[in-house]
Amino acid sequence: MKKKFRKSIGSDVPTLVFFYATWCTPCKLMKPTVLQIQEEMGNALNSLEIDVEIKKGIVKRYNVKSVPTLILFKNGKPLWRHSGVMPVAEIKTAINDRI
């Protein structure tokens, strides 16, 4: 997973990383939102899901303190982040404003 993570966030295709926990109710609400964004944006956006209980090194590296958290990466650099539930349209606007 580390290799896939590094390759994906290092790509010139933006990558939306969804940090979640299985016990997190807001995360369960956000999962369909993230899937919808990926579907609508197609090849213009990669996406990854990171379980904060399993991938603690990645969580620590990117200072994820709460879930759900979304971080948008391009060429290895974080361009945007948001913690908490957010509507599809607002996430898409945030992504499009930065890519």
In angstroms and rounded to an integer, the radius of gyration of the C-alpha atoms of the chain is 12
DSSP 75: T
Among 24, 41, 88, 99, the active-site one is: 24
Question: Which residues lie below 8 Å from residue 5, measured CB to CB, with a gap of 6+?
Answer: 17, 48, 50, 55, 58
30 flagged as catalytic: no
Taken in order 19, 23, 24, 28, the sign of the CA dihedral is positive
24 flagged as catalytic: yes
Q: How many residues does the chain have?
A: 99
Dist. CA 84–CA 66, nearest whole Å: 8
Among 27, 48, 94, 95, the active-site one is: 27
So which residues are the catalytic ones? 24, 27
